[in-house]
Amino acid sequence: MKIDNSVKATGNLPSGEARTRSAKETPKAQGASGGSERVELSSLSARLQQAEEAIANTPVVDSAKVDEIKQAMSQGRFKVDTDKVADGLIDSVRQMLTAQQGQASRA
């Protein structure tokens, strides 16, 4: 199983700080013209930002599930499905080979 965190952070700043920093820098960019520029984000953009924040605040590991498995192991109730493990390993090897073949053909 591969885990890919495809949500990219804005630099090293949390999203709220990045927005605040941009807002503070905007007046400096206006200079002597005195003009006012206004940027409006669509509702889709706002929802996307909310989704990104929700994903960032979601733990990667389900602690309750980990505790449940630990308890099952300590009590001898945890059973490993060897067929599922083997299938997963084979799938991982196939993905690696496919990726290597794709890289070799591009070179």
Query: Are the CB atoms for 52 and 7 separated by under 8 Å?
Result: yes
| pLDDT score recorded for residue 33 | 55
Q: What pLDDT is attached to residue 59?
A: 83
Complete DSSP assignment for 47-94? HHHHHHHHHHTS-SS-HHHHHHHHHHHHTT-----HHHHHHHHHHHHH
pLDDT of residue 102: 86
Closest CA to 29 of 18, 40, 39, 37: 37
Residue 13's pLDDT is what?
Answer: 46
Provide the pLDDT for residue 66.
Answer: 94
**What is the residue-level pLDDT of the chain in tens, covering all 107 positions?**
555 555 554 444 445 444 444 444 445 544 555 668 888 778 898 899 999 999 998 888 899 999 999 999 999 999 999 999 999 999 999 999 999 988 888 77
Which token pair is 50? 């909310």
Determine the pLDDT at residue 75: 96
- CA–CA gap between residue 42 and residue 75 (Å, rounded): 53
- Using CB atoms within 10 A of its CB, is residue 19 exposed (0-12), middle (13-18) or buried (19+)? middle
Which two structure tokens, joined as six digits, stand for 80?
């490993």
